[in-house]
Structures are given as structure tokens and as C-alpha cells.
Structure 1
Amino acid sequence: MSALPLSGIKVLDLTRVLAGPLSAQMLADLGADVIKIERPGTGDDARAFGPPYLADPEGRANNNNSFYLCANRNKKSITINIADPEGQAIVRELARSVDVFIENYKVGDLQRYGLDYESIRAVNPGIIYCSVTGFGQTGPYAPRAGYDAIFQAMGGLMSVTGHIDGEPGAGPMKVGPSIVDYMTGMNSSIGILAALYHRKVNGGEGQHIDVCLFDTVIASLSHYAQIYLVNGKTPPRRGTWGNGGMPAGVFRCADGELMLVVGNDAQFARACDVLGEPELATNPKFVRNNDRVAHGKEIMAIFAGLFLKNKVAYWHDELEKAGIPCGPVNDFAQVFADPHVRERGMEVKVNHPFEPQLSLIRNALSFSATPITDYRAPPLLGEHTVEVLASIGYDEAKCEMLKNEGVI
């Protein structure tokens, strides 16, 4: 088996909460040696975003919660007080020998500590320095802080998410998980990988990468935003309705819900056969997809009545036989019990000091030659401080002194 794709790449991770840590975790999964620098005593802000927390074997309160665990596997954790001049010197010394430096402090914050891009480039000209912020390094909003939900609102995502206007509960709605953080983490990873390739192929030049949540959410709106740019109109909220083929949406069955997407006219005809109403496919109002879009409320109401006549499993099996895309609306218990999900190995077990068989979500990438098979538990706060500092000449006595002084 070959080494992982990023074996030999070293990363300093000065990120907190979600977007930045997710990006660094991706690099760690791919084989990079990622050193996470945390605040002594409290660590990454995400460690306080609980509960739930892992149960400490001795019943003590701890800072290993689900929010932290989801974004920090395969890393080493060291604690450094970057507000202390000696702590700043340690970070700069570590930065001399790394390839990538990731941070998500507010614009200008790290300049106070001599840890901004220009300061780090002075000790390591080839550094790939990635700044992950809410609004980016430029523009009138650059100094502002923000969290995922703010960008879902400001970037337009909430304006097109939610129940259809006129229905109970209509109005802007936040997407459940922190999806903008996740997408920003992926964009950061892509930018870092591209910069590493550029440095290797085009003369060894390092650079500063500016990635922000606001840019990411706007770009992610893709065809929705393009509709506005073409005709000046914001697409309406569609609830669970699709935005291409029709009918498409969640239909209530006798014992649960099923998501259906009829993508073309041939699928529509087969769906009508499955539902026992083949004549619908020849109705002039429904023959072509554009016709069905124009009469969307009517065809959706007809399908809604038909789906109530049987159970989810029955409709799912029959529609699958007919080659019509559909799927049950699963909760997480059903997701992780699904035989396909289990076959794909989306749940992995790691050995954590608090839980020998801790479940994590595996990386979504699958490689034929360099598979990701080694998953290490997200580290305890400062678990690797002595080990990492030993690599730059700090012995145990020096580390103990620095700990007593609050530097590490």
C-alpha cells in the first residue's frame, strides 16, 4: 500500500470552532502531520459548544464534546498561549519547518502577535498561509465576526429555504447543520492543495489564501443565484419541492415519508403506472415537464393523495423497480443502520482514552491506491505538547517551566 497522498506535509492549525478545523482535518486524513495549537486551559472554543460530552471514566467534567470530535481527528494537540511573547516565539519556530499555516482569527488579530502572513513568511518564505474568516481579508465587512447562521441569512440561502409561501410556517429558514462552515472547510482544503501543487510545480513560491464564509455561501447557491443574475428575480422558497423535474418532493405515505424526484417525462409515465393512474401521463396538463411545472400544485396534490394509500417500503420498492429516483426520509439511526451506509463504512471506530470504541464519521473520499484506513481519535487538550516541543529542542524541564509560567 502506498503512503497517503499528503504524507510528508506538515501543517500548523491555529483554527477554532468548525470551518478551519474541518479543513485541517481533511489534510490530516490525507496524511499530513497536523499540529493543532490550542489555548491553555480552555482549548478550541468548540470544546465548550456542548453537550453532549464523552463520559469521563472517572466521572469528571471534560471538554471532549461532539462539536469538537467531528472536526479534529488525526491531529496532534498542543497548548500555547499566543498572547505571551514566548508563546509567539514557539509558534514562529514551529512555523519554520511546516508547509501550511491555517488560522481563523479576525482580520488583523494575529498581526499583534507577530503571527500574521508577513511575519510567518519572514521565517518561512515558502509557507502556504490560509486565512479563514467570516467576510474575507478585504471589503467593508472584513473586521466583522460571524457564525454559520449569519452567513446563511446574509448570503441568500435562507431566502430560498423554507416552506412554500402561503403555507403554515412560511418564511426564511436556516438549514439544520452548519453547512456553510462545512463548505468553507472544503474550499480551504482545495485552496491549500492547489497552492501546494503550484509551489511544487512552479518554482517553490508560497502564498496567502483568503477564504471566507460569505463568499462560500454565495458561490454555493449556484443555479439559484444564477437565476437571479439572468432575470433579476429571486427563486421562491419551494419547501421540499424539487427545482427541476416535477413532481418532486416529500410525500406522506401510510407509515412515513418518501422523497421522490421525477426527472423526465419517461420517469413520469412510469411513476403514474406504479401509482395506478397511467392516464395522468397523457393528460395535456402533465405530458411535458414544463407543463407539470406550470401545474405544479395540482400534480403534487394528486400524487400526495395516491401515496397515502400504501407504506413507504412498498412505494420505494415499486418505484425502484421502475427506475424512478426516490428514498425514505431517514433519521440518523436509520442512516447508520442502512446496509449501503454500513457497506461503505461511513461509521468508523477509534480508540479514545474515554471510549475504546468511539464512533466517528469517515472521510468521504475513497482512493484505490492510497486508501484512508488509519483514523486516530481527536486529541485531548494539549495531549502532544511535550512531544511536539521536543522536536524543536525543548526538554521536559523546559516544558514544565513554561507550563508553570502559563506559556503552554
Structure 2
Amino acid sequence: MRVLEVAAWTFVPSAGAVLAEWGAEVIKVEPLAGGDPQRGLVTMGIVDEGGGSVNYMIEIPNRGKKSIGVDLLNPGGQEVVHELAKTCDVFLTSYLPSRRKRMRIDVDDIRAVNPNIVYVRGSGHGPNGPDADKPGYDGVSYWSRGGIVVALTEDAEELVRSRPAFGDLLGGMTIAGGIAAALYKRATTGEGSVVDVSLLGLAAWNLSPDIAVSQLHGGSAIPKFGHADAPNPLVGNYRTKDGRYITLMMLQMDRFFAEAMHAIGLPEVLDDPRFADPASRFENRSALIAMMDEAFAKRTLAEWREALAGLSGAWGVVQTPGEVCEDPAVTVNGYVARTTTMNGVPYTIPVNPVQFDEQHVVPDGAPEHGQHTEEVLLDAGLSWEAIERYKQMGAVL
């Protein structure tokens, strides 16, 4: 499968990275001047130049691709993109409708040279309506407008800050899944599809329970409880002696209650009439949570790992991102991989979570700006003379 990606930043390009890890050849078309604007983005003090540093915000959504530099406002550059589109199965773009028309990369333009291509648009707010041509980013379209920040902040005075590319990367996986379905349709019917995924639609999907309940019973919200009065004491976060947290997630309280109380070191509650049955446990849940808080505060995280090891109910440790890299389940399953940039600088990066036949993904680094221009154009059937002519026109890098 060959993908022609005319996109920038993280949302849509991350879909190309997933497809590359699934085995596709992904050709990334970058602006002639400067390339993908994210190449010049300084993020948390790490830049993409000098000193052997790694611009991880380029590597994450662009690994495994080939890069070609093209001026999409140059008629010659537009011809080049059309020539490449003839050879591709998928056209993937993040550009707004008005820019797609100016660049001659809209649906009709690409379908004119490849009628059955799968045409894919990632946007902030969807293909229709008053905001279809409005810029959208993860922090605006997904995090804020999509209601994610309100759902995560709850009653705190200050809004929770968005994490880098939080919705973008979820969206990239979503786009990749849509492309896979469209390719299956094309393989079985011969017809290509126009696939749309928006950050706003993704947020609505992520908040399905909140949005659904907001439309019921006069607009009520999902009931909110604090830690001290949670309806199920076996669902929550408990602080350890050394300031870490254990998360319990045993939704079937009756099933796990006796086993959990023994593991936590509170067998006496099993004979306490306050906790004799489900109704009593709910009525006296605050007292039980207080007892559990006291019990968890007596042991360190290491001690709790040992004490809870045999518990059949679900529990886990609240980990830092750094700890996730060392998590035994993460390492043995290959969810985080060691790779290098195109310049040979080593770094660690998560790979897409889908595996086929238990094969671990080993990602390649992201390409340099325009690194594969000649290679890609030659593969598409252009002659050296034609490539040189496009270069003299300022159409390609």
C-alpha cells in the first residue's frame, strides 16, 4: 500500500506513521520552504538541530516515511503531486478546504488522476458546517471545544492543562483504522471512499457516557463523588506510606470484597455489621474508605506490590511516564522501542499499540526534509530531465 500524505503537525501525520508501521510506503509531501512547520518547533527545550538532540515532536508522527519537498502553490509542484497520486492507494491531508482548492489537491483534483483512490481528510471540526474551513488544533478543537478539559477538571479551580498531542495521537489511530476499512471496501467493491475524521468528533466519542447522560433526565450529569464518599471503596486511589498511589478497580465489589480485605490487612471488617451486606457497605462506605486509607498509609509501594500480588481483582500503580518505559509488561510486549534518528542519534519512542502475529514494531526514524525527493519521483516514473526541470521551476526541493 502506498500513501501520499500532504499534511502537517501531528494529528493527520500520526496516522501516516501508524500506516508506515503497518507496512505501508508513506510519502510525506512537505512545504518547499522549511518543511513541516513542526520541524522548527521548540518543545520543552528540545530542538531539531545541533548537539545530537532529538526533535521528538517530529519523530513521533513522521517515523518510517519518505519526505519530498514540494511547493504546492507552484503549478509544477501541483503537477508533481498529481503524478504521485496516480501511483498511490491513499491520499491523506490535513489542509483546510480553501487551501486544498488553491493547491489543487481537493477530492475532485486527486480523483481526476486516480478515480478509485481512498481520499482522507483530517480536520478540526468536520467537513460541513460554518467551521469547516476554520483552523483546528488538539488544544482547541479536541481538548477545549470537545469538552475533554471540563470532564477531567471537574471541580478544580484551575483547568487541567492539555497534554502535548493528546487528542492528535488518538485521532491518528482513528484515521488509520478508517483507512484500513476503506481499503477493504475498495478491495471488495473496487470503489474508493472519502474518509473524514475530526478532532471535535473524536472528543465527542471519547466523552460518550458524559454526553449521553447530559441529554437524559433534564440534562443531569454523571454523579460525582470525592475519594472519601466514593460509592465503591474498591474503586479509587489510595496513598502509600512513601507518597505513591495504588489504584483499585474492582467494579464487582461483592465478588472481591472478602479477598481484598484480607489482602489489604483488614479481615476484621468482614465480621463488622456495618459492612455485612451491599446496602450496609454503601451506607457506611466513608468509614470503610477511611480504614482503607489508614491501612494503605502504613506500607510503602514496594510492600504493597508484594501484598497485592495474588489479588485476583484489578489493581495497579500510578506510574510516571518514565516508569512506563520500564514497566515489565511494556518492555516484554515491545510497546516502547529503541530506535535512532536519520542522523544516528538513539532515542526511545512508543510504537502504535496494534500488533500483528505478535510481531513487535521496530520503527525507523523520521526523514530529513526533502530527503527522498529524487527517489520518490523516479519511482513514480519521472525522468531525471523532468525532475531537474521541476527543480529549476522551484516546484520541488
TM norm structure 2 = 0.88
Find the counterpart in structure 1 of residue 7 from structure 2: 15
Answering whether residue 178 of structure 2 is matched by residue 187 of structure 1, we say no
* Residue 25 of structure 1 pairs with residue 17 of structure 2: yes
For residue 6 of structure 1, what is the aligned residue in structure 2?
A: none
Q: Which of 65, 74, 83 is the aligned partner of 1:84?
A: 74
Counterpart mapping for 1:154-303 below 5 A: 154-162=145-153, 165=155, 169-170=156-157, 172-202=159-189, 204-231=190-217, 232-235=219-222, 245-255=232-242, 256-264=244-252, 265-281=254-270, 286=275, 297-303=286-292
Moved more, 314-323 or 243-252: 243-252
Deviations 1:56-108 (A, max 9, x none): 5x649x9x611111111111111101011110111011111111001011233
SS of the aligned residue for 2:337 comes to: strand
Rounded Cα–Cα distance in structure 2 between residues aligned with 1:174 and 1:383 = 36
Contact preservation (8 Å) 1:152, 1:174: no
The separation in 2 between residues aligned to 1:120 and 1:55, in whole angstroms, is: 33
State how many pairs are aligned. 391
Q: Structure 1 vs Structure 2: percent identity of aligned residues?
A: 30
The amino acid that maps onto 1:312 is L
More helix by share: 2
Summarize the alignment of residues 35-46 of structure 1 with structure 2, pairs less than 5 Å apart.
35-46=27-38
Structure 1 counterpart of 2:16, which letter?
Answer: A
Q: Pick from 118, 131, 135: which aligns with 2:125?
A: 135
After alignment, is 215-224 or 76-85 more displaced? 215-224
Structure 2 vs 1, CA of residues 331 and 92 (structure 1 numbering), >3 Å: closer, same or farther?
A: same
1:144–1:39: structure 2 CA closer, same or farther, 3 Å change rule? same
Q: Distance in 2 between matches of 1:319 and 1:36?
A: 48
CA contact 2:39–2:48 (8 Å) conserved in 1: no
User: Contact conserved, 1:241 with 1:250, CA < 8 A, in 2?
Assistant: no
Compared CA separation, residues 142 and 28, structure 1 to 2 (3 A) = same
Which of the numbers 345, 349, 357 marks the counterpart of 1:368? 357
Taking the TM superposition and a 5 Å limit, the aligned residue runs for 1:56-75 are 59=51, 65-75=55-65
Q: Quick one: distance in 2 between partners of 1:240 and 1:387?
A: 59
Q: Structure 1 unaligned segments of length 5 or more: list them.
A: 1-8
The verdict on how the C-alpha distance between 1:130 and 1:81 changes in structure 2, with shifts beyond 3 A counting, is same
Distance 1:240 1:41, change over 3 A: farther
Supply the distance in 1 between the matched residues of 2:393 and 2:171 (Cα, whole angstroms).
36
Equivalent position SS for 1:196: helix
34-43 vs 44-53, which moves further? 44-53
**1: distance between equivalents of 2:312 and 2:130?**
51
Does the aligned pair in 2 maintain the 1:28–1:75 contact within 8 Å? yes
Partner of 1:3: none
Instruction: Tell me how far apart the structure 1 counterparts of residues 287 and 191 of structure 2 sit (CA, whole Å).
Output: 60
Residue 162 of structure 1 deviates from its aligned partner by 2.5
**C-alpha deviation, 1:332, in angstroms:** 2.4
Offset of residue 302 of structure 1: 3.3
Residue 290 of structure 1 and its aligned partner are, at CA, apart by: 7.1
More displaced stretch, 237-246 vs 189-198: 237-246
Please, which moves more after superposition, 340-349 or 81-90?
Answer: 340-349
Could you tell me how far apart the structure 1 residues matched to 2:288 and 2:79 are?
67
What SS is found at the alignment partner of 1:366? coil
Given residue 178 of structure 2, which amino acid in structure 1 is its aligned partner? G
Q: Which residue of structure 1 aligns with residue 304 of structure 2?
A: 315
Q: Counterpart in 2 of 1:5?
A: none
Query: Residues 257-312 of structure 1: CA distance to partner in whole angstroms, max 9, x if unpaired?
Result: 22222322232322222233234346566556676566665543332222111111
Deviates more, 1:233-242 or 1:27-36: 233-242
Report the TM-score, using the length of structure 1 for normalisation.
0.86
1:356 Cα deviation after fit: 4.9
Q: CA deviation at 1:342?
A: 1.6
Aligned mates of 1:401, 1:96 — CA distance in 2: 20
* Alignment-derived partner of residue 124 in structure 1: 114
* Contiguous gaps of at least 5 residues in structure 2: none
1: CA distance, partners of 2:157 / 2:307: 33
SS in structure 2 of the partner of residue 13 of structure 1 = strand
Aligned residue for 1:358, secondary structure, equals: strand
Please say which of residues 233-242 and 220-229 is displaced more in the overlay.
Answer: 233-242
Describe the shift of the 1:400–1:285 C-alpha distance in structure 2 as closer, same or farther (beyond 3 A). Answer: farther
Segment drifting more, 277-286 vs 351-360: 277-286
Aligned partners of 1:101 and 1:290: how far apart in 2? 58
Secondary structure of the residue aligned to 2:68 is strand
Aligned equivalents of 1:240, 1:86: Cα separation in 2? 62
Following superposition, the deviation at residue 218 of structure 1 comes to 0.3
